[in-house]
Amino acid sequence: MPQPINEQIETRRLELGLDDVEVAARCGLSIYEYGDVESYPDEFATVLDVEKAKRLCRILGLDIFSLTGLEPPDPSQGNSQRNDVVTRHLGIAKLARSDVAKRANLHDEALAEIEADSSKLDLMPVQQIIELAKALGIKPGLLIGT
């Protein structure tokens, strides 16, 4: 069984000889927020937004997809903007924005903002991205991006 995410993060930080205060600052987290990431197995996915999660992975030399057990996006599918992926799959599945938003625990307005601007996805926790992907019937890696 793989080591929980929080333990993988702490182990890697210690392997690199990095101080938790330094890593927290480089990630844009308070030491308390970072302490929670290393203390609780679900904190990385449920609290950190994608941007900070990716930044933490870069600092520690970890892969966000390996860490979370998610499949990375397939490079052969091109490099579509993530918001275009959302809009396209809403159309393909003939899903109402309100239905998808409800299934993903989002407000309709939040989903409309995501469709207009991919960077909105970077401000969402990894777990929220997973829920949105599930509601759209796609792999989360397409929305997390590289």
Across the chain, mean pLDDT equals 91
For residue range 79-100, list pLDDT tens digits in order: 568 888 898 888 887 888 888 9
Task: Specify the pLDDT at position 77.
Answer: 61
Pick from 46, 68, 90: which residue ends a domain? 68
Which CA distances in Å does 6 have to 26, 59, 102, 105? 18, 15, 30, 25
Pick from 50, 68, 86: which residue ends a domain? 68
Q: Which pair of tokens denotes residue 108?
A: 């309709």
Range of the domain at 130: 75-144
The widest CA-to-CA distance across the chain, in whole angstroms, is: 51
CB atoms within 10 A of CB 88: 14
Pick from 33, 51, 68: which residue ends a domain? 68
> Model pTM?
0.89
CB atoms within 10 A of CB 1: 3
Domain harbouring 139, CATH code: 1.10.260.40
How many residues appear in the chain? 146
For residue range 37-90, list pLDDT tens digits in order: 999 999 999 999 999 999 999 999 999 999 999 998 877 665 568 888 898 888
| Amino acid sitting at position 82 | R
> What is the gyration radius of the CA atoms in the chain, in angstroms?
16
d(CA 85, CA 93): 12
